[in-house]
A and B are shown apart, each in its own frame.
Chain A
Amino acid sequence: MLRARYRYVFVKPFPGDVRLDKLEIWKAVQSSLQYLVGALGYADVNPYLVRVQKDLDGLVMRCNSKHIRTFVAAIALVNNVGGERVALDIKKVSGTLKALLRKLKC
């Protein structure tokens, strides 16, 4: 069986001064993706919340590498998290978690 390939995405809310529950952000992304591509598409994208990166004030998410554009679109379509108007900016996309964090920190 082929090994699944992923893309790791670092997402940061804008504006930065708004305090948001990170899990609320994840729920908003899930909901947006579900609306954009439906249940079957959602399963293809296979999104997963990897970690909440507190030092960089963002979230690391993962999806199937073939469907990265759909996942990015779903993230970009989020405009409201917990009643706050926000935009979710994609700061970096990488093939491994290690490389993503290295790119973010340098």
Chain B
Amino acid sequence: MGSRTFVDFWIRPPDVTIAKEMCKRASELGYSALVVEAPKSMLDELKGIAKEYGLELYSKAVISAKTRSDVLKMVTKLRHSYDAIAVHCLTRDAALVALRDGRVDTVVFRANGFMTIDKHMLSVTRNSIELTLIDAISDRVALQKMRGIVRLIDAKGLSVIFSSCASNPVEQRGPFETSCIINAFGLNFERSLDAISTVPLNILLRNRAKLSGEIVQEGVWLVKG
């Protein structure tokens, strides 16, 4: 537990004041990095605040997609501006495209969208699947659905990410608590810890390197000095 770097892969503060409180709470809970879905102007302001609390801040764009073309258009538009791109699928068609597209980082399955996963979808999956804590906390039906999704993911050995999707500090939970929730869904504890540390961190580091030009092409890194 101690040597891991924990990442809250999705918070969406409504304003800077709440964002500041959320940064403070995340730091107290033991997170080292936050991924924020917010307008660019707010992100610039938040970077300084996050640094005060010893947090690394990453930007995230969440695309709500109904059709295949929604996914393709928005990913093309946003890929080079954000550290992480997540697709929140509202239909199965959109989910199938998002799960395969190499430019997408995570595919979010939420209670207010499409929250079913079948074996065909799993067989074409290339990206990580993201589940949110807020759905587990606030929606008991979603909790049962998430349990089913986690079992399928575990059986297929795919990577899963668990984020808080919090919009205020009360919705945030610590890394240990979060990993225990995933563990209660049926994933083993090591993989539960990976879902909030290694898996999201690798995505963020790779994407930041791509944005800064350190990765010239997939697998080709620019060596400095």
CB-nearest residue of chain B relative to A79? B137
B125 within 8 A of A: no
- Interface SS majority for chain B: helix
Instruction: For the complex, give the distance between the alpha carbons of A85 and B136 in Å.
Output: 15
Q: Count contacts on B: residues with CB < 8 A to the other chain.
A: 21
Instruction: For the complex, give the distance between the alpha carbons of A22 and B43 in Å.
Output: 39
Q: In the complex, are the beta carbons of B177 and A36 less than 8 A apart?
A: no
Cβ-Cβ contact count across A and B, 8 Å cutoff: 54
* Complex interface: stretch among A50-58, A65-73, A94-102: A65-73
Interface residues on A, range: 10 to 19
| Binary A-proximity of B89-121 (CB < 8 A = 1, otherwise 0) | 000000000000000000000000000000000
* Complex interface: stretch among B5-13, B164-172, B194-202: B164-172
B176 within 8 A of A: yes
Given contacts A37-B184, A90-B174, 15 further A-B contacts (CB under 8 A): A14-B169, A15-B169, A36-B143, A36-B184, A70-B184, A72-B176, A73-B181, A74-B184, A75-B177, A76-B173, A77-B136, A79-B171, A87-B169, A89-B29, A89-B177
